[in-house]
Chain A
């Protein structure tokens, strides 16, 4: 062939290669690959009989992914089925989660659900308590749900801090206005399914509950109602008897109506008084200078009710001198709690050196 024809042929081949690769890229992007996730559980469709949209609640979007104490602190958003709204949660993965060595890669990682308090979010524990240091040390993962659905369009959802946004109380509201507030179902049923679908190495058979303040309320009543789903429970400055608190009746009325009998099933003290399940152990730590202690926390009520119910639920209630309610107290005590959980989850292999925090 003449040189000019060769050159022309070369140009045609080059153009053809570019077109083909563009076509390939276009087709590949259409195939909807989502690495590291299970297949989509369902497609969006309207279910007219329920008036609720079917959603693929296990499909996650990453908001951020940050390295922290050797592991990864990741924040996710997804469409929630039970809350019928976007929901946010975070996960801390210890560095071992990514291990792909033979024999290691199928090992399951135990984890702790960390439920947080009024006005806070899934970011409270990860940003303000230093909890990841201990999760990394003991090789456990941490799951941080949010405290309510957000930006739901419900009128007055953020009007007061006591009801609505960041005040979900880990219960299922029955009042129509707050029908999106299904935090109990979210934490107990929906979130575990999301974890199974996306993070198969998180060991759902080996998990515990840790709660602060309103999150303590959630942890306690969730644990008491589902003793077979969780291996243990501990709390710091927990709301244990919201029916008798200053704050509690406000959200309880809003979510459930003004009949206090309907509140009892969400009140840990009421629940433990009637508990008839297998023997359980619960540890509650309480700062002695906590201004909410005698108004909203009332841990002595919870312990008394447990003790009066044949001590089926053994409650260890320890007061820590001088500590108050918030992050300064939680940060100071969190090492002890993660050690407690690590022991329950089978992660403690050596005797711990004595520490100031004993």
Chain B
């Protein structure tokens, strides 16, 4: 991977590509950071959305294909695009399948020693905010939200439920809502966490929603009805059932008729998500 940092003007702001040494992942990690025009105006610190990507993606797919920057610039919000796994460790079998290993970090902290570098949970929740504060001081990392697509939607939801004090809102496109009950989740958790169902539940949005005891919150889940992964892998109705039983969570579940799992779908509705987050992030002002 050519490790060349870049900075491109994108709408009124700039899309950065950065490389930094990650202690928790034990390697260099690439990172996309979109800074809106408001960041450079330096009048007040800008809020930030972490956009977590799905299986096989790098930090570049969403920054190129989601179209999120238009709306981030409009609302004066920074967007951070992490990668989806550590890279370059050459762990045996890390690239054997597209749904496990490289490009498939699942935003967990692996406990199986073979995958000890797979610490994407700590990377996103602990390491990135510190890096951002140092590198981009006009980002207010205490005014942050989460969103994601597919595996990244699972990441956003689970991180939010476990850290509701650190994030203002969460939304997801076609998230993996109940990984302990779908093939992708079982494969990933089995590999990273071993055969320990209790450990798996700690990273399952549906299980976490059941046990959520934080302040009243609204989560936003977006789902295409023509998504080929919907029935076997995504299971939003399971999350909905858990949420309905928990008075502390409201769920806005938007089914989009005829849309699939792709970036064509995300681009069509990403504006709605930024508007949703802007409400919660701006509420501080």
Contact = CB atoms under 8 A, between A and B. Distances in A.
Contacts of A127: 64-65, 263-264
Interface in B45-77: 64-65, 67, 69-70
Contacts of B265: 66-68
Nearest to B268: A69
B67 A324 contact: no
A130 interface: yes
Contact of B264 (A67, A322, A326): A67
A331 B67 contact: yes
B10 A332 contact: yes
A41 to B, nearest CB: 31
A66 B262 contact: yes
A339 interface: no
Nearest to A357: B11
Given A73-B264, A126-B264, A130-B67, A331 B258 contact: no
B242 to A, nearest CB: 29
A327 B268 CA distance: 18
Contacts of B10: 328, 331-332
Interface string B176-200: 0000000000000000000000000
A151 interface: no
Nearest to B15: A328
Interface in A44-81: 66-70, 73
Contacts, number: 63
Interface string B230-274: 000000000000000000000000000011101111011000000
B260 A328 contact: no
A326 B10 CA distance: 10
B89 interface: no
B133 interface: no
Chain B contact patch, size range: 20 to 34
Contacts of B258: 67
Secondary structure at the A interface, as helix, strand, loop or mixed, is: mixed
Interface string B109-120: 000000000000
B11 A332 contact: yes
A69 B267 contact: yes
A133 to B, nearest CB: 7
A333 B239 CA distance: 40
Contacts of A332: 9-11
Contact of A331 (B70, B263, B268): B70
Nearest to B266: A68
Interface in B7-64: 8-12, 15, 64
B130 interface: no
Contacts of B69: 328, 331
A237 to B, nearest CB: 13
A126 B262 CA distance: 12
Given A69-B268, A127-B263, A329 B70 contact: no
B8 to A, nearest CB: 4
Contacts of A99: none
Given A67-B258, A127-B264, A356-B11, 10 more contacts: A66-B264, A66-B265, A70-B268, A128-B65, A130-B67, A133-B268, A289-B9, A322-B9, A331-B10, A331-B69
Interface of B: 8-12, 15, 64-65, 67, 69-70, 224, 226, 258-260, 262-265, 267-268
Interface of A: 66-70, 73, 126-128, 130, 132-133, 287, 289, 322-324, 326-329, 331-332, 356
30 contacts: A66-B259, A66-B265, A67-B226, A67-B258, A67-B259, A67-B260, A67-B265, A68-B264, A68-B268, A69-B268, A70-B268, A73-B264, A127-B64, A127-B263, A128-B65, A132-B267, A132-B268, A133-B67, A133-B267, A289-B9, A322-B9, A323-B9, A327-B64, A328-B8, A328-B9, A331-B11, A331-B67, A331-B69, A356-B11, A356-B12
